[in-house]
Structure 1
Amino acid sequence: MPAVSLTNATPTTVGRVSPKGAARQDGAADPNIASGYATLTRPTATATPSPTPPPEPARLIVRSNVSGDTVTIDGRTVGPTGPEAHELAPGKHTIRVEKAGFEPFETRVTLTAGGEESIPAHLTVALEPGETFRDRLKDGSLGPKMVVIPAGKFPMGSPEDEKGRDSDEGPQHRVRISKAFALGVTEVTVTAFRGFVEGTGYRTSAEQGDGCYAWTGSSWELDKKLHWRKPGFEQGGDHPVVCVSWRDATAYAKWLSGQTGEDYRLPTEAEWEYATRAGTNTRYYWGNEEEPACRHANCCDTNCEYPWKSSCDDGYKNTAPVGRFQPNGFGLFDTSGNVWEWTADCWHGDYENAPEDGRAWGEEDGGNCARRVLRGGSWSSKPRRLRSADRSRGAPDDRNDRIGFRLARAL
């Protein structure tokens, strides 16, 4: 008879033994015996449970747009990117791809047992503050010229004693821009916007609606005949596009992101003012005085049709070609004047409880997203409106011959 394992055996009662050795096989107590019985047991064999098999591993493939890179998974270096799969336990993992001279790529992924995932890492060249670049579009053409804006801190808004100040510019508060970003060296031009429209068939708010607002001599009125192609005055391809709404600007940014694989967007209001000031705390990026305005900006000068014209002459009656005036300390042109520029933020009547980290301010704290923030002044503005802290607003579908935009891009 084969041996039986007694491992994990369960005792079973089989009888009683009296002190004199008599046993009752039924296990019952004998009424003739007062006491002294002992219980006999024997082990019963039970099956040992099988261990649970480990989960099937997952497979992860990491590729990138460069060679000679290094992949790190959960802090462990595993070699370069490529077609070979890494076998990993199911669950969450942190993937990082690095190469000298490039911005690192990092993401998190959740893997399932037996599954396979592929991560396309896109590394971009690490750029220094002040460097300019142009991303390439799918057709091989180049996007708008961008400049790297460094991280830093600045006082946003205006002090209470600033000449020409409005109440919506306060309270002045410190803002920290924690990461470098890129900003358009100039406003988006007619030529650049035309490439978007012709490539997509997009129709602007003005073309879909009742046209664009223009000055009639006494007021601004919608003119159904006016739109970005025909704003009511002559423009060349190097002029800033006008008669474009906030929705038009965000549509262009989305298209450009898809064309380049990069994250283009409207700048936040804080990013815009930080970049415009370029390290200055004065009324204008060139100083505190209005008199030099026409050397630095296209504003409402002696050629202006509006009753608030100034005494200087900037040489242009309406929009000017981008980049014709002196740049600020970050190499940006026309942040003061030429056209008002859309930003990402919803309108707040002042800076009470404003973010201090440079992010876009939305509906929180009473924000009105039926109005979006405009910055910079335009060719129709008096010099006071060109101050770095000056603010305005417009509805997301508002369009007039004084509004354009420039884009920001994540690095």
Structure 2
Amino acid sequence: MRQSLMRLCQVALIFVSIFSAGSVPCVAGVLPKDSSEQYELTFWASIKDSNYAGDYEAYLKAYPDGRFAPLAKARIARLRAATAGSAPPAAKAQSQTAPPAVHGPAASPGMRPPAASANPAPAAPHPPSSAVTSAAPTSTPPPADHEIKDCAACPVMIAIAPGKFEMGNNHSDPSERPAHAEAIGQPFALARYPVTVAQWNACVAASACAPLTTDESHAPNAPVHDVSWDDAQRYLTWLTKIAGKPYRLPTEAEWEYAARAGTTTRYWWGDDFRTGKVNCKDCGQPWHQEGPANVGTFAANPFGLYDMGGAVWEWVSDCWHSSYKNAPVDGRSWNEPNCQSHVIRGGSWLDGANYMLSSTRFKYDANVRYTANGFRVARDMK
């Protein structure tokens, strides 16, 4: 159903983008089918209302002969002309070398996070939610969370016990099928929050990570975003060095196991969507189009993890596969040599409620920086 609605919206977007400056409300916009044509349509839909020339330049680099190339060039010329006589707008946090492609859900990139005060106070985390009345536990319920902090600059980690769960969703996007039994055989630790701007900037200060923007308006406690899978690897290399522990991205199975947090429902709090649970579009306050809310603004799941849905899409280690057919069932990362695309999970503040399911997944190329993409770190418990 979601696929059919998305295809109808994408057809409508072609005509709207060519013949008007309006927009088509694709309220059920979930993931496009696995084809280059659909990726181009989705890319254009995500930038067609942007006020940043860099977004249209990225489109032209990805699709120099694309169906919207003339319009992209016209938008670039118009934006440059409009800013020629005034101070330039804050630049979007774009790759220092522009990405070759952006494959992802329709959104509104090019937005800036809200300005922070000179000494912003950290977000006050909510206590882990205990009201999960409609979410049935798995046969291996999680233990109470256990915090780990390996160094002063290290993210706070939560120890996750081994367990079994059903991964995927037979009633959603085809990429989430087939639902299958998955076993996490070893304990691991997962960051309580996504990596924040302040944590990223510590890596930048050590000359181990690249600064993502010259704009100083990012709130230090907001999740860092506009980072590629390759960027995340550089951060992990630095973190491993200073902590003396082998940090990594979670596997896709580990991520979903942690996101479900012992539940079997569509969302960790139940089968019915509720506002005020996650940081996403039309999902309740606080919400700002310009950027994600500070980490810890919304309630934690039963594992004590925050923002496992909404806020920012989160990179995981696995290569992208268009379904779970022949996927490993022991929690391992599903990889091939030299794979180009990697999986992202969880949806973002720019996406609607249909992206907030625990099973939602998509992909981007490893070197692409997209405004809604971030990550959280994991490590083995050995």
- Asked if TM exceeds 0.5, the reply is yes
Structure 2 partner of 1:316: 288
Match of residue 134 from structure 1: 149
CA distance in 1, matches of 2:281, 2:214: 23
CA contact (8 A) 1:132 1:146 kept: yes
Runs of 4+ in 1 over 4 A off after TM superposition: none
| Structure 1 residues 264 and 129: alpha-carbon distance in aligned structure 2, compared to 1, 3 A threshold | farther
Provide the alpha-carbon RMSD of the alignment.
1.7
Unaligned stretches of 5+ residues in structure 2: 1-142
Matched residue type, 2:240: S
Of 335, 340, 343 in structure 2, the residue corresponding to residue 373 of structure 1 is 343
Deviation at 1:235, TM superposition (A): 2.3
Read off the aligned partner of 2:232 and give its amino acid letter. Answer: A
Equivalent residue number for residue 150 of structure 1: 161
Does the 8 Å CA contact 2:209/2:235 hold for their aligned counterparts? no
* Cα distance in 2 between the residues matched to 1:352 and 1:275: 22
The alpha-carbon deviation at position 315 of structure 1 amounts to 3.4
Contact 1:339 1:402 (8 Å CA) reproduced: yes
The answer on 1:354 being equivalent to 2:327 is yes
User: Larger C-alpha radius of gyration, 1 or 2?
Assistant: 1
Aligned residues of 1:269 and 1:373 also touching (Cα < 8 A): yes
Q: Which ranges of structure 1 fall in alignment gaps of 5 or more residues?
A: 1-127, 205-226, 302-309
Partners of 1:282 and 1:229 in 2: how far apart?
42
Match of 2:9 in 1: none
* Structure 1 letter corresponding to 2:184: I
CA drift at 1:202: 3.1
* Cα 1:300/1:229, change in 2 over 3 Å: farther
Correspondences of 1:53-132 after superposition (within 5 Å): 130-132=145-147
Q: 2:270 aligns with which of 263, 273, 287?
A: 287
Aligned residues: 238
Matches within 5 A, 1:124-273: 130-136=145-151, 141-160=152-171, 165-203=172-210, 227-228=212-213, 230=215, 234-273=217-256
Structure 1 residues 256 and 129: CA distance shift in structure 2, 3 A: farther
Deviations 1:215-266 (A, max 9, x none): xxxxxxxxxxxx34539xx421000011111001011011101111101000
- Separation in 1, partners of 2:352, 2:287: 15
What is the CA–CA distance in structure 2 between the aligned matches of 1:247 and 1:289, rounded to whole Å?
Answer: 36
Please name the residue that 2:24 is paired with: none
Aligned-pair identity in percent equals 42
Give the aligned partner of residue 87 of structure 1. none
Q: C-alpha deviations, 1:22-50, integer Å up to 9, x for none?
A: xxxxxxxxxxxxxxxxxxxxxxxxxxxxx
CA distance in 1, matches of 2:334, 2:214: 32
Is the 2:286–2:293 Cα contact (8 Å) retained in structure 1?
no
Inter-partner Cα distance in structure 1 for 2:280 and 2:324: 27
How far apart are residue 145 of structure 1 and its match? 0.6
Q: Distance in 2 between matches of 1:243 and 1:281?
A: 31
**C-alpha distance in 2 between matches for 1:343 and 1:130:** 22
Is the CA contact (8 Å cut-off) linking 1:129 and 1:147 kept in structure 2? Answer: no
Deviation at 1:369, TM superposition (A): 1.8
